Amino acid sequence: MKRGIYILLVSILFISCSDFQKTLKSDDTAAKYEMATDLYEAEKWNKSYRLLDQILQQFRGKPQAEKITFMHAMCSYQLGDYYISSFHFDKFTDVYPQSEKAEEAAFLAAKGYYYNSPVYSKEQKETVEAIEKLQLFLNRYPNSEYLSEANTLVKELDFKLEKKAFEIAKQYNTIGEYKASIKSFNNFLLEFPGTSLRGDAFYYRFNSAYNLAILSVEHLKEERLKDAINYYNALKKGYPNSTYSEIADMMNADLQKELNTFTTKS
């Protein structure tokens, strides 16, 4: 019995594949449209896309064009080809702005840009572009059913930019470029005032100022010691219970000791 069912299923699959290949190679656009729609509804994205890709241009200006254009973009999206899907969804919203699918298309276009955003350690051009696209969507559809998800995606992308800027500033600290590190952290704090990395930035800025002062040449040392102590005070005021408090206190004691030598000399 089980063998019979298996043979039947294999036969159906073979016939189905045979029908698909036959339709794919034919010149019957109506048959391709019908099969592409059936495959789309069955979530057979790859096969549906192949048929839709063949007939997309042939249906331009016809009543079915709107549906085909949307399905074609959706197949690309479901297949993970986000560059192509975003291009086609954007085109769909331009051509069919009054469509009942326009809002969904606009969101999926923006979400496609989100998926193309690389890890924070790489160039963030696509991340900036994704934020812009999502913000445009939010401005256009402020009451959208996708509002919450879109805002979540923007926050994720914003954090990626924050992380990128933070790690660059921290890397300057790691390689001993303390002046560049301090400047980068100051810029970071100005650009991302609400960042969750603010406390860490305060510490590493102080750490850079500490090292710059301790390792400084004599004629610049007193001023740099005072600057470092100011950064320490900013850290303590903003984050009195920071996880860095103990080591920061020890570093500040070193700074005060060094600064006292200048007071004694005078």
* pLDDT at position 36 over 80: yes
CB 251 within 8 A of CB 206: yes
CA-based nearest residue to 225, from 253, 190, 193: 253
Distance of CA 65 to the CA centre of its chain: 32
User: In residues, how long is the chain?
Assistant: 266
Q: What is the pLDDT of residue 15?
A: 37
pLDDT digits (tens, 9 = 90+) for 177-229: 999 999 999 999 999 999 999 999 999 999 999 999 999 998 899 999 999 99
- Mean pLDDT confidence for 158-171: 96
Q: Which of 190, 187, 192, 114 is nearest to 157 (CA)?
A: 114
pLDDT at 32: 86
The model's confidence at residue 14, banded by pLDDT at 50, 70 and 90, is: very low
Q: What is the pLDDT of residue 4?
A: 43
Q: 13 pLDDT exceeds 60?
A: no
Look at residue 98 in the predicted model and tell me its pLDDT: 95
pTM for the predicted model, two decimal places: 0.82
Residue 63 confidence (pLDDT) above 60: yes
**Residue 26 CB coordination number (10 Å):** 12
- Residue among 39, 97, 94, 100 nearest 72 (CA): 39
* Residue 253 pLDDT > 90: yes
**Percentage of residues in the chain with pLDDT exceeding 90?**
78
In this structure, of 17-31, 61-75, 193-207, the range with the lowest mean pLDDT score is 17-31
State yes or no: pLDDT of 262 exceeds 50: yes
Please determine, for residue 266, whether its predicted confidence score (pLDDT) is greater than 90. Answer: no
> What per-residue confidence (pLDDT) applies to 25?
78
pLDDT digit string, tens, across residues 224-243: 999 999 999 999 999 999 99
17 band by pLDDT with thresholds 50, 70 and 90:
low
More confident residue, 29 or 140: 140
Question: Cα angle at 30 between 28 and 36, to 5 degrees?
Answer: 100
